[in-house]
């Protein structure tokens, strides 16, 4: 600004008084205008020079940022197989803002965003010069292979609003210095083995809206100070080792929408304040913890709730009826708790509910008929409760059901009609349903899993059942079903993996419907009246078979050699039939039994999308096995079980030595047959064997000493045979002290029998040799005694004759006298 001189202002004022002064006024004004113009030019020149200085400063700053990135890049490695990386474009020869991958700049040419997720970067953050990037607002290095700690000087990124270091290998805890990033709105560190507690300093991040610390191995408790994060809308602390309770102060997060705390070891009550102070919450996940107490009634005030998962805790009490007021609810999972009482009829108001899971609780009473009003329901799981009565017919109104599970309750009556043509899985097992097989399932052509086991169903199976071409798992065991299965239907079961028909009244021969089941893994038809022989096509037609159970039927004849072609077979149970012939050809190609199984589960898996997420419907196989003199049901772990049970048949011949090749065996039962010969000497190779039963046969000879090497053996029965010699000792055999396991083997001696051997320290062979030597010595002694007795008898007869017969005596004496005279 140009300010006039005071004397000039006075001259102007005098212009009105003195004419002389008025005369010179125009000259003064002209001079003033010239001075003003001159000063304006000077100001413009100064501004121009300042602008030139500013323009000249941009390249050095931009160059400093580029050099900082290249310095960090020089410390990194790249794990891409082809050696390529987004960072290959980083070079001083190209423009940072326009050519460098993952870089964004502002109008002034300063870097404001660095984003290279999944770039196969290996290295550390220590060499990253955070001070060189004061303008950066977004940093995303997720999905790489970064190691080491998160440097504390990351707090120098004063403009940072979003930080994503997820899915790396960062360690050393969450630095407290992150609390200095006051502009931060998004912090994502998930899937790193960081460890340590949650820093209390994070409560300073007043602008933070998203905090994702899933699976970072957090320990300790949740800081109460996190409740100060009033702007937070998303919090994920799931899959950690957090303990303690859920602080009530978290109610201060009044904008909370999505809340994840699943898979920790949290305990205590669920604070009711969370539901009264979080009006915007839509998702509340705290499953897989140890929360106790009841579900707060105040949950009804969280009116925008869409997803609620409280499963696998220790919650008790009744299900609040207020949940029925959450009309926007789409997913409700309260499974695996100790909830009691009835299912609230108010649930009928949940018209948008897609999935309702209440399994493994103590729910009682009837299923309310209002369930039929839940028109959007796709998944309904009431398994493992104490529900009773008849299932309401309104269930047939649920036309979008893909999964229904009413197993393990006390339901009676008939299985309800299911109208949904989308049904994939239906389970009604272990109830008291009666009547015939529901033909409604024949109309559900998409059905893949069907479990009606352990009920009171009767009558014959409809032919249409075998036309369900997508069927993977079928369990009709433990009912009163009857009829001939083998010729039923067109048998279009090309996808069938598991078939359970055990413990019914089925008749006829081996089911020919199985001939085209190339994917069949489990076949259990025990406990019926099937008869005839095992067909020769079983080997080539069922190449995937792993479990074959035919016990307690009327099968007969010899085992076809084709059975040995089942190279995946790991459990063979032919007990209590009328099979005969030798067993030596059976074991040749059972290669799956020659090594231990490492797979844990055998499941039938069905993929389905629900609520825009993949949902897997699983059904675990369960098998009854006579194990260690008792019957056990194996479920889930059946894939680890490996064994052979041929008991209670009429098999003959010797036990083949090749049986020792089946090193994966855990049980072997050949009892109650007509097997002869000796126990194989190499039986001790079966080191995993836990149960061995050769009882009630005609085995002879000594028990091989190698049996003492069966270190896992906990059940043994060799009774009712013709075994002899000393019982081997040592290792696991010393714990098997029940003498009955050797009963009725007259030649056995030693521990645990009361019959002692001649030298308990000698081996069985040495004992037998000594016994033979002893017998030989006795025979020699008897011979000597006989000779001496014969001589004594002969002398007695000679001299006795002389005493008794006088003529003989006189003649002998006369002869003696004549000899002397000569």
- Per-residue pLDDT of 148-182, as tens digits, reads 999 999 999 999 999 999 999 999 999 999 999 99
653 shares a domain with 743: yes
User: Is residue 302 predicted with pLDDT exceeding 80?
Assistant: yes
Distances (CA, A) of 816 to 394, 800, 804, 808, 820: 134, 18, 19, 12, 6
Task: Give the model's pLDDT for residue 367.
Answer: 97
Is residue 51 a part of any domain in this protein? yes
Is residue 259 a part of any domain in this protein? no
- The H or E element spanning position 609 is strand 603-610
698 shares a domain with 807: no
User: Is residue 523 predicted with pLDDT exceeding 90?
Assistant: yes
Is residue 172 a part of any domain in this protein? no
Query: Cα(348)–Cα(18) distance, rounded to whole angstroms?
Result: 104
- The most confident of 79-88, 263-272, 509-518, by mean pLDDT: 263-272
What total number of domains does the chain contain? 3
Query: Cα(210)–Cα(257) distance, rounded to whole angstroms?
Result: 10
675 shares a domain with 784: no
Task: Give the model's pLDDT for residue 474.
Answer: 94
Task: Give the model's pLDDT for residue 83.
Answer: 56
Of the candidates 487, 570, 472, the residue with the CA atom closest to the CA atom of residue 517: 472
Digit-coded pLDDT (tens) for 660-673: 999 999 999 999 99
Are 661 and 637 a contacting pair, CB within 8 Å? no
Digit-coded pLDDT (tens) for 622-669: 667 766 566 666 665 566 788 999 999 999 999 999 999 999 999 999
Half-sphere exposure of 777 (CA within 13 A, CB side): 6
What tokens appear for 780 in the block?
């020699």
Distances (CA, A) of 270 to 162, 183, 243, 288: 31, 32, 14, 14
Helix (H, G, I), strand (E, B) or coil at 489: coil
Quote the mean pLDDT of the chain: 85
Are 224 and 200 a contacting pair, CB within 8 Å? no
686 shares a domain with 557: yes
The domain boundary, picked from 35, 58, 81, lies at 58
Query: Cα(439)–Cα(434) distance, rounded to whole angstroms?
Result: 14
Is residue 697 a part of any domain in this protein? yes
Could you tell me how far CA 209 lies from the centroid of its own chain?
A: 34
User: Is residue 571 predicted with pLDDT exceeding 60?
Assistant: yes
Q: Angle at the Cα of 692 (from 686 to 695), degrees rounded to 5?
A: 140
807 shares a domain with 667: no
Q: How many CB atoms lie within 10 A of CB 134?
A: 15
Please report, rounded to a whole number, the percentage of residues in the chain having pLDDT higher than 90: 68
663 shares a domain with 789: no
Of the candidates 149, 140, 59, the residue with the CA atom closest to the CA atom of residue 97: 59
User: Comparing 18 with 531, which gets the higher pLDDT?
Assistant: 531
Task: Give the model's pLDDT for residue 730.
Answer: 81
Q: What is the band of 761 on the pLDDT scale with cuts at 50, 70, 90?
A: very low
Is residue 579 a part of any domain in this protein? yes
User: Is residue 614 predicted with pLDDT exceeding 70?
Assistant: no
User: Is residue 131 predicted with pLDDT exceeding 70?
Assistant: yes
User: Comparing 80 with 135, which gets the higher pLDDT?
Assistant: 135
Cis? peptide before 752, omega within 30° of 0: yes
> What sections of 396-477 are H helices per DSSP?
none
For the segment 39-48, the average pLDDT, to the nearest whole number, is 44
Of the candidates 327, 360, 323, the residue with the CA atom closest to the CA atom of residue 345: 323
- The H or E element spanning position 748 is strand 747-749
Query: Cα(356)–Cα(381) distance, rounded to whole angstroms?
Result: 6
User: Is residue 257 predicted with pLDDT exceeding 50?
Assistant: yes
Within 8 A by CB and 6+ apart from 817, the residues are: none
User: Is residue 525 predicted with pLDDT exceeding 60?
Assistant: yes
Q: What is the band of 379 on the pLDDT scale with cuts at 50, 70, 90?
A: very high
Are 302 and 325 a contacting pair, CB within 8 Å? no
Give burial (CB, 10 Å; 0-12/13-18/19+) of 728: buried
Q: What is the DSSP letter of 467?
A: G
Please report, rounded to a whole number, the percentage of residues in the chain having pLDDT higher than 70: 78
Is residue 589 a part of any domain in this protein? yes
669 shares a domain with 736: yes
272-287 as b/e: b if 16+ CB within 10 A: bbbbebbeebbbbbbb
Half-sphere exposure of 539 (CA within 13 A, CB side): 12
User: Comparing 32 with 367, which gets the higher pLDDT?
Assistant: 367
Is residue 27 a part of any domain in this protein? yes
The domain boundary, picked from 58, 82, 101, lies at 58
User: Is residue 792 predicted with pLDDT exceeding 80?
Assistant: no
Domain enclosing residue 15, as ranges = 6-58
User: Is residue 436 predicted with pLDDT exceeding 80?
Assistant: yes
β-partners of residue 548 are 523, 572
What CATH number is associated with residue 553?
3.80.10.10
User: Is residue 607 predicted with pLDDT exceeding 70?
Assistant: no
726 shares a domain with 586: yes
Task: Give the model's pLDDT for residue 50.
Answer: 39
669 shares a domain with 816: no
Are 559 and 535 a contacting pair, CB within 8 Å? no
684 shares a domain with 537: yes
Q: What is the band of 378 on the pLDDT scale with cuts at 50, 70, 90?
A: very high
What tokens appear for 685 in the block?
């190779």
Question: Is the entire prediction scored with pTM above 0.85?
Answer: no
Is residue 515 a part of any domain in this protein? no
800 shares a domain with 743: no
Distances (CA, A) of 167 to 124, 145, 208, 214, 465: 14, 8, 21, 10, 48
The domain boundary, picked from 58, 76, 97, lies at 58
User: Is residue 2 predicted with pLDDT exceeding 60?
Assistant: no
Are 15 and 22 a contacting pair, CB within 8 Å? yes
Task: Give the model's pLDDT for residue 94.
Answer: 87
User: Is residue 617 predicted with pLDDT exceeding 80?
Assistant: no
Query: Cα(20)–Cα(26) distance, rounded to whole angstroms?
Result: 12
Of how many residues is the chain composed?
A: 822
Task: Give the model's pLDDT for residue 773.
Answer: 46
User: Is residue 290 predicted with pLDDT exceeding 60?
Assistant: yes
- Going 447 to 452 to 457 to 459, the CA torsion angle's sign is positive
Could you tell me how far CA 83 lies from the centroid of its own chain?
A: 36
Q: What is the band of 102 on the pLDDT scale with cuts at 50, 70, 90?
A: very high
794 shares a domain with 751: no
What tokens appear for 232 in the block?
């937070």
């Amino acid at each position: 600004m140009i300010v006039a001189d005071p004397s000039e202002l006075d001259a102007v004022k005098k212009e009105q008084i003195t004419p002389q002064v008025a005369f010179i006024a125009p000259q003064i004004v002209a001079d003033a205008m010239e001075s003003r113009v001159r000063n304006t030019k000077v100001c413009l020149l100064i501004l121009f020079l300042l602008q030139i200085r500013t323009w000249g400063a941009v390249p050095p700053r931009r160059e400093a940022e580029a050099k900082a990135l290249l310095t960090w890049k020089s410390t990194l490695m790249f794990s891409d197989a082809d050696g390529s990386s987004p960072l290959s474009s980083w070079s001083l020869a190209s423009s940072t803002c326009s050519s460098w991958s993952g870089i964004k700049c502002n109008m002034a040419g300063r870097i404001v965003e660095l984003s290279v997720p999944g770039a196969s970067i290996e290295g550390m953050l220590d060499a990253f010069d955070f001070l060189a990037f004061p303008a950066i607002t977004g940093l995303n290095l997720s999905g790489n292979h970064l190691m080491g700690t998160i440097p504390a000087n990351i707090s120098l990124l004063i403009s940072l609003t979003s930080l994503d270091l997820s899915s790396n290998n960062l360690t050393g805890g969450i630095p407290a210095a992150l609390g200095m990033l006051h502009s931060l709105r998004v912090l994502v560190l998930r899937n790193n083995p960081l460890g340590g507690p949650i820093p209390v300093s994070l409560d300073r991040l007043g602008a933070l809206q998203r905090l994702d610390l899933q699976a970072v191995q957090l320990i300790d408790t949740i800081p109460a100070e996190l409740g100060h994060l009033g702007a937070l809308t998303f919090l994920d602390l799931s899959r950690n080792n957090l303990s303690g309770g859920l602080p009530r102060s978290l109610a201060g997060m009044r904008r909370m929408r999505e809340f994840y705390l699943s898979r920790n070891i949290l305990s205590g009550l669920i604070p009711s304040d969370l539901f009264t102070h979080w009006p915007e919450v839509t998702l509340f996940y705290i499953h897989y913890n140890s929360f106790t107490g009841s579900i707060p009634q105040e949950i009804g005030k969280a009116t925008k709730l869409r997803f609620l998962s409280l499963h696998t805790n220790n919650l008790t009490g009744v299900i609040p009826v207020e949940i029925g007021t959450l009309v926007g609810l789409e997913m409700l999972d309260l499974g695996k708790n100790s909830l009691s009482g009835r299912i609230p009829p108010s649930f009928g108001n949940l018209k948008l509910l897609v999935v309702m899971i209440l399994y493994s609780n103590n729910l009682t009473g009837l299923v309310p008929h209002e369930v039929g009003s839940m028109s959007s329901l796709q998944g309904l799981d009431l398994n493992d409760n104490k529900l009773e009565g008849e299932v309401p017919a309104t269930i047939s109104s649920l036309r979008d059901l893909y999964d229904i599970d009413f197993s393990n309750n006390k339901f009676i009556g008939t299985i309800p009609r299911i109208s949904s043509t989308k049904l994939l899985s239906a389970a009604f097992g272990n109830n008291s349903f009666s009547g015939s097989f529901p033909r409604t399932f024949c109309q559900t052509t998409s059905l893949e899993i069907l479990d009606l086991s352990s009920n009171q169903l009767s009558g014959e199976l409809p032919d249409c059942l075998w036309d369900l071409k997508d069927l993977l798992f079928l369990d009709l065991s433990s009912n009163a079903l009857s009829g001939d299965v083998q010729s039923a239907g067109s048998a279009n079961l090309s996808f069938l993996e598991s078939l359970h028909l055990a413990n019914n009244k089925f008749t006829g021969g081996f089911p020919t419907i199985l001939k085209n089941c190339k994917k069949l893994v489990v076949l259990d038809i025990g406990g019926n009246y099937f008869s005839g022989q095992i067909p020769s096509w079983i080997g080539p037609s069922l190449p995937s078979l792993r479990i074959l159970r035919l016990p307690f039927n009327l099968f007969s004849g010899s085992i076809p050699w084709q059975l040995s072609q089942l190279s995946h077979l790991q459990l063979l149970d032919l007990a209590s039939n009328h099979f005969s012939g030798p067993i030596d050809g059976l074991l040749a190609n059972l290669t799956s039994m020659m090594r231990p199984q490492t797979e844990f589960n055998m499941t039938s898996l069905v993929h389905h999308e629900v609520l825009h997420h993949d949902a897997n419907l699983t059904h675990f196989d369960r098998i009854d096995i006579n194990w260690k003199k008792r019957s056990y049901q194996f479920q889930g772990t059946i894939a680890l079980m490996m064994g052979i049970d041929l008991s209670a048949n009429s098999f003959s011949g010797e036990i083949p030595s090749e049986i020792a090749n089946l090193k994966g065996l855990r049980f072997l039962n050949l009892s109650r047959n007509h097997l002869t010969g000796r126990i194989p000497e190499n039986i001790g190779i079966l080191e995993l064997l836990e149960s061995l039963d050769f009882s009630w046969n005609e085995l002879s000879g000594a028990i091989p000493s190698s049996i003492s090497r069966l270190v896992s053996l906990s059940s043994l029965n060799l009774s009712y045979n013709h075994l002899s010699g000393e019982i081997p000792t040592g290792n696991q055999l010393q714990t098997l002290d029940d003498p009955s396991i050797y009963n009725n083997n007259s030649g056995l001696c030693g521990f645990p029998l009361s019959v002692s051997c001649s030298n308990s320290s000698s081996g069985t062979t040495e004992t037998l040799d000594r016994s033979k030597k002893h017998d030989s010595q006795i025979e020699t002694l008897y011979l000597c005694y006989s000779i001496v007795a014969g001589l004594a008898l002969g002398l007695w007869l000679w001299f006795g004759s002389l005493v008794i017969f006088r003529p003989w005596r006189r003649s002998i004496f006369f002869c003696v006298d004549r000899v002397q005279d000569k």
